[in-house]
Amino acid sequence: MRIFFAGRFLVCFLVFMIMPGSAAAIDRQAFEPGERLEYVLKWSGIAAGDSVMEIVQGDDFDGAPLYRVISTAKSRSIVDVFYKVRNHYESHIHPFDGFSRKYIFNMREGGKRENKVLIFEPDKKIVTRIWKKDDQTQSRIYEIREGTHDNLSALYALRNEPLNLGDSYNYRVFESKKNWDLVIDVIAEEETQVAAGKFRTVVVHPKLKFEGIFRRKGELHVYMTDDQWHIPVLMKSKVKIGSIDAELVKFELGGAPKEIPSMIRSNEDE
């Protein structure tokens, strides 16, 4: 069995609805360093793993510190005995334009190990892919289109959108040695109960073809708070055998302390 953050999540997972290639500065920020989101990963209702998504301040790049988005996923002891998972992903996002400058992927699943780094150079429209598996290391440069994300920065790009019912967003993503188009539709508004509380949410449906934060296998729906932060509180993915869900259990917002208007009730209120 494979444990993923909502299918290696959310999962994605900054900015650009009609013209995804635009490099214009973003005019709002739904997240800041200091944010931490904790999830329980469930396979067909059984708690099988845990995941954390957090933002810390990264290195300075072109006049501003990058947002270092870190996503980790690990299986629990009951799963470790037959399929141990320890996955680590990072996207280093520039706060001025919302695009990734570096993506790090370290996978440990069962007996499989894979390490990958993507170095994005948007001004040159290229990405350098450095890949290591077993004892082999390869490096290759690929052309990318203007306004290209990695599959984790795409999620954070989505959080900066208005997310009104009926909206559709198109993102350019580089993954698996190719350029992809990721289309995400806003399909519903619901009240959603998770371990962290009850929230007003919008439901988004990614239409995808690549493996990564947004998986190509099975259907994925992401429930995001209906407010200015658009926190993913629930990710539901149907797979060939059962389903994989990522449910928010605890959260901290970045920057100054804030309240989330979309929270209807915390578990402490019950």
Quick check: 44 pLDDT over 70?
yes
- Give the pLDDT confidence score for residue 270 in this predicted structure: 60
- Give the pLDDT confidence score for residue 27 in this predicted structure: 57
Mean pLDDT (the chain, rounded): 85
Mean pLDDT over 76-104 rounds to 94
Mean pLDDT over 234-256 rounds to 88
**pLDDT tens, position by position, 24-40:** 445 568 999 999 999 99
Which residue spans within the chain are E strands per DSSP?
36-43, 46-61, 64-75, 86-93, 100-109, 112-121, 126-133, 136-143, 148-149, 168-175, 178-194, 197-207, 220-225, 232-238, 243-252, 263-265
**pLDDT tens, position by position, 122-132:** 999 999 999 98
- Give the pLDDT confidence score for residue 43 in this predicted structure: 87
Angstrom distance (rounded) from CA 60 to CA 48: 37
Mean pLDDT over 72-85 rounds to 93
Angstrom distance (rounded) from CA 129 to CA 176: 10
Quick check: 266 pLDDT over 50?
yes
Quick check: 156 pLDDT over 70?
yes
Contact 224, 204 (CB under 8 A): yes
Angstrom distance (rounded) from CA 47 to CA 72: 16
At residue 238 the predicted structure's pLDDT band, cuts being 50, 70 and 90, is: confident
Classify 115 as helix, strand or coil: strand
Mean pLDDT over 160-167 rounds to 96
Angstrom distance (rounded) from CA 241 to CA 87: 22
Question: Which domains occur in the chain, in start order?
Answer: 36-269 (2.40.360)
Quote the percentage of the chain above a pLDDT of 90.
66
**pLDDT tens, position by position, 166-222:** 999 999 999 889 999 999 999 999 999 999 999 999 999 988 665 544 444 557 899
Angstrom distance (rounded) from CA 147 to CA 3: 30
Quote the percentage of the chain above a pLDDT of 70.
84
Mean pLDDT over 220-244 rounds to 90
- Give the pLDDT confidence score for residue 7 in this predicted structure: 37
Angstrom distance (rounded) from CA 187 to CA 151: 21
